[in-house]
A and B are shown apart, each in its own frame.
Chain A
Amino acid sequence: MALHRLSFRLRGTVCHVRTLHTSGWGQQQEAVAVESEPEPFSVFRTQETDPACQSEKHLGQFYTLPSAHFRPLFPHGLPYRYQQQVKTFNEACFMVRPPALEVISYLKKADYSKPALRYLFYGVKGSGKTMSLCHAVHFCYTQGWVVLHIPDAHLWVKNCKELLPSSYNSARFDQPLQATTWLRNFRTTNEHLLSQIKTKRRYVWTKRESTDEGRPLGELVNQGISRVKSSSDVVGALMKDLRLQSSQPGADFRLVVAVDGVNALWGRSTIKKENKSAVDLEELTLIHNLKKLMKNDWTGGAIITTLSQTGSLYTPKSAYLPQELLGETGFDSMDPFIPVSVPNYSEKEFESAYLYYLDRKWLQHPQSRTEDGKKELSFLSSKNPSMLDRICGFL
């Protein structure tokens, strides 16, 4: 990666660069252009890769995710376009933006003996809610929390290919495929912690299979992955266990529940039973368990969620406020929560993103490198992150 090679060359000056940035001179473009001539990329980048240490001084700047973190943390959960961008640029860069910083600061200061706080990111389409969520999750990961990241709750309520009646409760339905994929990703994310946490109860799957108390959670997860039929129940058991354990005062880990597209839990579903009648959301095991998790009756953790209109069913395109997307029941269940609005890019953030694309040589068109081109891009994309990404995609 270019960044590493550069840092090797400038090893002597790395600490010099770091002081430059943390002193806030990175903000003034004119000043830095004079100062850091050998490192022109640093205006919009910061070397601070630890979300815990990022502060307002780093607002608008990109930080690179260390690849050691990237692979386990985000097997799922990032927007598709961003994943492609990571593959193209060979590095994963997040922009430090106010909503994410706000949530991280709350997470740092929260009292974890009280019931879990619920944070909700909301904003217009493409304004960066999922990315802010992933930023917060990265912070939790670096702090060593257990990450329960559901990439998109909408995927669980639509396009279900297999629907089995649940073994645990015959009124409900299982979704084995989705459950197994999720369990696999969960295992990738929390590999190192699963061996340390032990189950607290005994779970009986079938007549012959059961998991005893005191076994590491990893075994539970493996059980769910291998036995596809009972995977949804495994998910439910996992959630319950983690919830109970983190509530206990002596727990040595904290749980973060990150759900993207939380409005799916209280919307409608398009899954149909064999007799063509629509499945009620309460009848799906996964959703049922997730809703139990979302209730803030447990302690020792946090719930971070985003609203999403793009995947949601039966909602108008212009809806982006919590009230509209969650609906009455959703709002009442989520209440009280901390809403965090994710706006479009500000001037500075837009500059940053533009410089980043320039640096990565993504903007090939000669006119895009001029001032006028920049103004055009700003106008056409109306400073919406995803729109900017799409427009720059063909430039």
Chain B
Amino acid sequence: MAASCVRTVGSFLGKCGNCSSSLNTVTSQLSRQVLSRQICVSTALKKNLAAGGPEKFTVEFIQKQVEEFDIGKRHLANMMGEDPENFTQEDIDRSIAYLFPSGLFEKKARPLMKLIFFPLHEAVQWGADGRPFHFLFYTGKQSYYSLMHKLYSKILNIEKHQDRMRAKGLFSQDTKEISLDTSRWLTKEELEVLLVETISSNNYDRFIQLMERLLSMPYCNMEEEFVLHYRRPLEARSKKQMVPVPERDDKGVAFSTSDGRRKTSNSSVVLRDCGSGRITVNGQEYLHYFPVLQDREQLMFPLQFMGLLGRFDLECTVSGGGRSSQAGALRLAISRALLSFLSEGEQETMRQAGLLTPDPRVRERKKPGQEGARRKFTWKKR
């Protein structure tokens, strides 16, 4: 009964499909305590359930769904005539798109067969007799405090270990250190997600303090795995601008290629170091393609700024967008291509002039209930 309840919810929640192999949306693991489903007929609990929010799933349920998904995957592979052993998620997506062609524009509304793990939900925390499972339930933040307790007990363990080593005379300060350079602590939001409950900033600070204390002791590498669980790798540093490498073509002329984008236009420019100032856009004369002076000024700006007007030969291709956005895209592409012919200082001036920044402005979506993106309908008093 409960299972069927879940399945209807699953099909309701999720993604439609008529496959006999079920299309599952599976929620993720619960909090650490393994709880069995506590959905009973008792009226008190029924009321609690309604107030509790969305459905809660147990670990067994999740595992069962995962098995059913695997079986379904094998069925699908057999249907498509492919090898069930090496059927990856991409193959699944492809097969579903083939079997259930959809004309919907929103990609997320189309049929889907995937194991999606939703963020944690809290399961019901007490038993049939109303007694909570966790001993810290009445603190309100049971997972947080249990984590703190665990951390402290680990600290005490390490101290005991230190004492033992001292007693044996093997105490040494230069034990292996945990490498912390490439990672950072969890942020407060990430910790909340891990613990499935909200914590205050004070709590978070205390947690970090305790962790630091753990790390300050020697022999902390005993708990390395535990500590690293609460750290995330640092993102790669912001990339330095990739400067296109100038190559030489058959006649020995140095040239460089680069792309640029603005709004919906894409452009690509080949900048040759010939010595004439000829420009070709999409095979046409540049005067003919950009009859408006403003567009030509946009193209001229990078070269004029560096004072290299007559030196280069431009061969441009551009598509999409309108007149102005094509000019902007070309300007960005020219500036990028020009980078390879300039020194470091000049590149810096170009960056500061804003020539190398792609313009992030795109057309804003029209909202329902309004006439345009920002314009509202005429307000009538009555």
Contact = CB atoms under 8 A, between A and B. Distances in A.
A386 to B, nearest CB: 10
Quick one: which of B284, B300, B309, B310 has the most chain A CB within 10 A?
B309
B279 interface: yes
Residue of A124, A375, A376, A384 most packed against chain B (CB within 10 A) = A375
Contacts of B307: 372
A375 B303 CA distance: 11
B300 A387 contact: no
Nearest to B304: A376
Nearest to B286: A382
Nearest to B311: A375
Interface string A363-395: 000000000100110111110100100010000
A377 to B, nearest CB: 10
Contact of A375 (B293, B297, B310): B310
A318 B293 contact: no
A376 B293 contact: no
Given A380-B296, A382-B279, A391-B293, A375 B309 contact: yes
A2 to B, nearest CB: 31
Contact of A372 (B285, B286, B297, B304): B304
Contact of A378 (B286, B293, B310): B310
B277 A379 contact: yes
A82 to B, nearest CB: 19
B277 A378 contact: yes
Contacts of A376: 300, 304, 309
Contact of A124 (B279, B288, B293, B304): B288
B279 to A, nearest CB: 7
B309 A382 contact: no
Interface string B277-308: 10100001111100001001100100110010
Contacts of B286: 382
A381 B297 CA distance: 10
In this complex, the member of A317, A372, A378, A382 whose beta carbon has the largest number of chain B beta carbons within 10 angstroms is A382
Interface residues of B, number: 16
Nearest to A320: B288
Interface string B308-332: 0110000000000000000000000
A380 B277 contact: no
Nearest to A391: B293
Contacts of A372: 304, 307, 309
- Central interface residue in A318, A372, A379, by most chain B CB within 10 Å: A379
A318 B284 contact: yes
Contact of A379 (B284, B288, B300): B300
B287 A379 contact: no
Contact of B285 (A378, A381, A382, A391): A382
A124 B277 CA distance: 18
Contacts of A382: 279, 285-287, 296
Nearest to B288: A318
A349 to B, nearest CB: 15
B290 to A, nearest CB: 10
B309 A387 contact: no
Contacts of B297: 380
Given A372-B307, A375-B309, A375-B310, A380 B285 contact: no
B62 to A, nearest CB: 65
Nearest to A394: B293
A317 B285 CA distance: 12
Nearest to B310: A375
B353 to A, nearest CB: 16
A376 B310 CA distance: 9
Nearest to B279: A382
Interface string A242-270: 00000000000000000000000000000
A200 B309 CA distance: 63
A322 to B, nearest CB: 18
Contacts of B284: 318
Contacts of A379: 277, 296, 300, 303-304, 309-310
B325 to A, nearest CB: 20
A16 to B, nearest CB: 35
Nearest to A387: B287
Interface in A300-339: 317-318
B296 A124 contact: no
Contacts of A378: 277, 309-310
Contacts of A381: 287
A157 B56 CA distance: 83
Contacts of A124: 285, 287-288
A361 to B, nearest CB: 23
B301 to A, nearest CB: 10
Given A124-B288, A387-B287, A380 B279 contact: no
A384 B287 contact: yes
A65 B296 CA distance: 35
A313 B303 CA distance: 38
Contacts of B288: 124, 317-318
A115 B68 CA distance: 95
Contacts of B277: 378-379
B314 to A, nearest CB: 10
Nearest to B309: A375
Nearest to B278: A382
Contacts of A317: 288
A378 B303 CA distance: 13
A129 to B, nearest CB: 16
B69 to A, nearest CB: 59
Nearest to B299: A379
Interface string B66-80: 000000000000000
B313 to A, nearest CB: 12
Given A124-B288, A372-B304, A380 B310 contact: no
Contacts of A375: 304, 309-310
Nearest to B308: A375
B316 to A, nearest CB: 14
Nearest to B296: A380
A53 B368 CA distance: 76
A381 B310 CA distance: 13
A268 B333 CA distance: 43
A331 to B, nearest CB: 23
Contacts of B279: 382
B341 to A, nearest CB: 17
A124 B293 CA distance: 18
25 contacts: A124-B288, A317-B288, A318-B284, A372-B304, A372-B307, A372-B309, A375-B304, A376-B304, A376-B309, A378-B309, A378-B310, A379-B277, A379-B309, A380-B293, A380-B297, A380-B300, A381-B287, A382-B279, A382-B285, A382-B286, A382-B287, A382-B296, A384-B287, A387-B287, A391-B293
Given A375-B304, A379-B303, 7 more contacts: A124-B288, A318-B284, A375-B309, A376-B300, A376-B304, A382-B287, A382-B296
Closest 4 CB pairs of A and B: A375-B309, A382-B287, A379-B300, A380-B296
